Structure 1
């Protein structure tokens, strides 16, 4: 009987153009809430594809980046599907490390993907990674605490307002902190936040000659503002806090404000997960009046290594996980407010979603406002908002992040951290040939 069912499954797969033999897909992904939900719901995929088995490898963000980068660069072949971001895709495509996603199916509707998200994952008109969710960054805040303090959050706040409000809202005796911000070292952890913040202060990673700019007044103002704010109004141990740690703090009522990924909005407003779900308001990421807000642009996406022998099965899964049907499945199982955001135009045209998700308009506005081609106030030779789209950035960004995290932990001063960043970035950029 089992053999008969297997043969039927294989025949159906052959008709549909899918894999015709039993295969196991190893999927490397990040331990964020949306991915954990995808893993839980993947039984719907395996029921429809009985010849495909899924093996999940779920990792913390920094570890995931290290593992998948090492694996694909060495052609290790540990994973059939990689969870990667907007930073990796164009660089890895240039290295011919990724398989073009040309078998997502006639119903996939690539044109429905948001242009700014799609463009970062496309080379030569071909998609090389499919976005599972897209994000920018925003302010999430406690409306009740603002009201109690007699404060009103503008839709488009300045850093001066945010800093003042954070200090006024801090009540350390009650363990309520005015603001929670990333402090954990990593190019995609604290440096994602600080790079976007620096853009709004007029700073940049490099000038037009690729010379590092950490010795600039703009970077000094960025870092001293951040460190002072976290010292006066941040939680203890902030140098160990990344996205997930700050999410937990906010959900438990410990943060009056949190500036982070727009994708967090569905988690902080979910009564099943958040003690403050009915008290959350949203605003655009802050600015300083220089024309750039501190909002980034990112998409956690699914891709297939070019060396994979399971490309058809892998693309079948990616098509399912990033499709309109998957969004409908999450809406049915978890409610519209919890669907993966930031990838499809049709989602933001959906009245049910907009009604269930009070953060939808600001998320879309933030994504559309981020400009990877012109990320800074002054001209720069690179693209990317919260990262620099060059292969060397992964190492340089993490090293700079470690210096800034050490300053947050009180192990060095802001000036020492900036000097360390300037020295190491200059050394690496000279070694790589950018600085002549």
Structure 2
């Protein structure tokens, strides 16, 4: 009997081996933002439903993620099966056949529920090439208690003058209270995301209709000068190294009076489990300069795409569908409340009264996204599309190089005039080399 039992056990083990051998491991590259960290914590729901799929995570800081994913996908390295990419990359990479089309998604995925502006930015000829995990515009987040103490008000649609006045009044550096926190870390998707939106709201543009850079124009001079001035007067120390995550931490710790950044941050600054000032946060539209009808035109989405180089396309598509589904939104809501649901991607979320009740920022987020015009980000006529970026392949390198010049102004290493001259020269050189300027 013992021998028979042992033989039976061996037979069962032998049968189990092929099943184990067939397990697929997906390598997923993602950014270290709060919503993605939350997604990793909840993936037990996915692996329970898909026991044949194992997930391996590569979680990176935003600038590093972009560098590594871009290098891998351009060289067809095949290192990743699912990549977290922005709406800047998706149409460019899709046209270069670097991404697989997301056709054949499950019937209950309901792609028609995706917000039109977001879906449009991820499609080429009506074919979806990445699925949105969350989407954002930009808004003002501020401390209502500090504003009241300082005797200032911030209207629902403030001007930059109003913001600067409030920031100065709310600053108390002896108590480590800084009136304003803005991105200073160099990168086309870090400080240049904010500064491009700010420049849009000042009436500036990156290029004229002949693709000539516009950093020598007064609108850019005013943008950068005002930015550097208010950061020096009311910003935190070391601001040239602060990006989204660093400023989020400062605001949650009660050290920022005003933070102007992505709408996705709203759920984190109002989370009493993470934010020391959760019950004191007010919201307003992205500012505009007096006399300029432009509120930045910031539209960004973090999306999940599948590199054409993967050998695990079907398993990757299963994961992408799960992570960007209505079911995932409901899972987050069940675990952490509706306020924590990934924002900005689905109409059904904004039709949900439970979400509206739990998320005081919901209406403003949707209005900000709906108000973006990526076809015309500046009040001036331009040859490019995009919002807080320019939708050409060269922008990634040019934007980061310009961002380094502007970060140096915040660090006090160069004057704004010098940085703008350098930006004009390097951008002219690269656009000429690329054939845009004849």
Shorter-chain TM band: over 0.9
**1:58-98 CA distances to partner (integer Å, 9 max, x unpaired)?**
00000000000000000010000000001000100110100
Instruction: Choose 1 or 2 for highest CA Rg.
Output: 2
Output aligned runs, 1:161-200, within 5 Å. 161-200=162-201
Distance 1:260 1:266 in 2: 13
The residue that corresponds to 2:23 in the other structure is 22
The residue that corresponds to 2:355 in the other structure is 353
Runs of 5+ unmatched residues, structure 2: 1-11
Deviation at 1:309, TM superposition (A): 1.3
Output aligned runs, 1:243-392, within 5 Å. 243-288=244-289, 289-392=291-394
Deviation at 1:247, TM superposition (A): 0.1
The TM-score normalised by the length of structure 1 is: 0.96
Q: Do 1:296 and 1:370's aligned partners in 2 also have CA atoms closer than 8 Å?
A: yes
**1:281-314 CA distances to partner (integer Å, 9 max, x unpaired)?**
1000000131111240000000001121111100
Does 2:236 align with 1:242? Answer: no
Distance 2:66 2:40 in 1: 19
Q: Do 1:203 and 1:376's aligned partners in 2 also have CA atoms closer than 8 Å?
A: yes
Distance 2:376 2:402 in 1: 22
The residue that corresponds to 2:432 in the other structure is 430
Distance 2:94 2:234 in 1: 42
The residue that corresponds to 1:81 in the other structure is 82
Secondary structure class of the residue paired with 1:256: strand
Deviation at 1:21, TM superposition (A): 3.9
Farther off after superposition, 126-135 or 292-301: 292-301
Runs of 5+ unmatched residues, structure 1: 11-19
The residue that corresponds to 2:134 in the other structure is 133
Once superposed, which parts of structure 1, at least 4 consecutive aligned residues long, lie more than 3 Å away? 1-7
Q: Do 1:27 and 1:57's aligned partners in 2 also have CA atoms closer than 8 Å?
A: yes
Deviation at 1:5, TM superposition (A): 7.9
Deviation at 1:148, TM superposition (A): 1.4
Distance 1:355 1:250 in 2: 23
What is the number of equivalent residue pairs in this alignment?
Answer: 426
The TM-score normalised by the length of structure 2 is: 0.95
**1:224-281 CA distances to partner (integer Å, 9 max, x unpaired)?**
0000010000000000000000000000000000000000000000001000000001
Distance 1:242 1:286 in 2: 19
The residue that corresponds to 2:158 in the other structure is 157
Distance 1:295 1:99 in 2: 29
The residue that corresponds to 1:413 in the other structure is 415
Does 2:101 align with 1:104? Answer: no
Distance 2:430 2:193 in 1: 20
The residue that corresponds to 1:46 in the other structure is 47
Distance 1:280 1:295 in 2: 23
Give the root-mean-square deviation of aligned CA atoms: 1.4
The residue that corresponds to 1:394 in the other structure is 396
Q: Do 2:204 and 2:220's aligned partners in 1 also have CA atoms closer than 8 Å?
A: yes
Farther off after superposition, 292-301 or 216-225: 292-301
**1:318-372 CA distances to partner (integer Å, 9 max, x unpaired)?**
0000000000000000111001000000000000000000000000000011111
